[in-house]
Amino acid sequence: MSNMHRIRWFDSQIRDGKYPSSTQLAQQFEISKRQAQRDIEYLTYSLSAPLLYVAKYRGYCYENKTYALPLLYMTDEEKKVLKYLAYRYRQYNYDNAASVNRVAHLLERFSEEETDEPGQRLPIFETNPQLIHCFERLSYAIGQHLVVRVTYRDESGLQQLSIRPLKLMSQYNSDYVIAYCEEADKQRLLRLDGISSLDVTSARFEPMDAELLEWGAGGSSAAGSPQRKPYTAQVKLAQPLASPDSWHGYRIRSSTPEQALYTVEFHEIESFLHHLMVSAWETLLAPRWLREQLDALCRRTLERLEEGGTAKP
C-alpha cells in the first residue's frame, strides 16, 4: 500500500476534527510507528502541510484550514522512470553521496526532495526510454531467475547472446548487467546501452553461488576503494544548452554559453567516447589524448564498414 493512501486517511481524520497521531496511523494500517512518523514528516516537508501538534489532544490539526492535499497521480510510465532514477541515485558514490542516497530513498517512495545545503546539487541522469525498458525487463529476469536472449553490440561487433542476469549496477554514468554468458561459459559485464533487443524467456536457472564480477584496476566498485576524480573534455556545441548543468547526463564543470563552449566531466573513457559518437557537437577542443582515441575509434569503424562493403556475397 502506498504512503499516499495513508496520508489521505490522515488528512481526512484532521478534517473531521479527530486530531490523529502517529500511533493511530500505525495502528490503522498495521505499520511501525517509525514508518507512520515518516509519513507525517513527508506530509509536512514534501507536501507543505501546515501541521500543528496539539498536546491537549495528543494529535495533529492544520494551522491553516484552507490547505488541500495536492493531486499526486502518476502514470505507470512515470513510476518506471522514478524507479530507474532511484536505482541510479542508489548507485551514485561520488560528490555528496550521502545526500544523493537520501534522495534515492525518497524516490523509491515516489516523492522528491530538494536539498538546501550550500554547495550541494544532485547529479543529472538521462532517462533514456530504451535503458529504462532494459532495466525493467532485466530486473524482472533477475528476480525470477529467467534466461534472457539479447542482441548486444560492443567493439567486436553485433552478437546474439543467451545470458543469466545476476545483478544490475551503475558505474561512471553508465549502466551494466553482470550476467553469466552461456556462449562464453563465463560471467560478463554488459552495458545496457549496448543491448539493442531483449527477450526474457521462460527458461529458469539456479541462482549462482559464485562471486560476482569485480571491476578491474582503476574501476573497482568495492567499498572503501578510492574514488576516481573525473576527466574533463572541452567541447564546442552548435548552440548553447538549455540546461547549464548537464550535457545529456554528463555534468558541466564550467561554460561560456555565449560561445557554446563547455567543460564536461566524465569518469569512464569508453562510455564518453560512445557518447561522442552518437551526440551532436562541433569541435572537441581538449584533451588531445581523447581526440586521438576518438580518431582511432572512427578509423576502425570506417575500416569495418569498408571491409563489409567489399565482402563477396
Domain boundary assignment for the chain: 3-62, 129-204, 231-307
**Section 61-69 average pLDDT:** 87
pLDDT of 94 over the 60 cut: no
CATH annotation of 3-62: 1.10.10.10
Which residues, 6 or more positions from 244, have their beta carbon under 8 angstroms from its beta carbon? 252, 255, 257
Residue 50 pLDDT class (50, 70, 90 cuts) = very high
- Give the whole-angstrom CA distance, residue 116 versus residue 96: 13
pTM equals 0.38
Return the CATH architecture of domain 129-204: Roll (2.30)
How far is 122 from 130, CA to CA, in rounded Å?
Answer: 23
CA atoms of 240 and 206, how far apart (whole Å):
51
Cis peptide before 287 (omega within 30 of 0): yes
pLDDT above 80: residue 223: no
Within 8 A by CB and 6+ apart from 155, the residues are: 300
- Give pLDDT, residue 236: 94
Q: How confident is the model at residue 92 (pLDDT cuts 50, 70, 90)?
A: low
Residue 183 has pLDDT above 50, yes or no: yes
∠ CA(11), CA(21), CA(104), 5° rounding? 70
Measure the CA–CA gap between 229 and 268, rounded to whole angstroms: 11
Residues 6+ apart with CB under 8 A from 81: 127, 132
- Return the residue matching grid coordinates 494529535: 59
What is the structure's pLDDT at 273? 87
Q: Is the pLDDT of residue 69 over 90?
A: no
The CA radius of gyration of the chain, in Å to the nearest whole number, is 24
**Averaged pLDDT, 176-188:** 86
Show Cβ contacts of residue 31 under 8 Å, excluding neighbours closer than 6 positions.
Answer: 6, 25
How many helices (H) and strands (E) the chain has is answered by 8, 12
Q: How far apart are CA 233 and CA 229, in angstroms?
A: 13
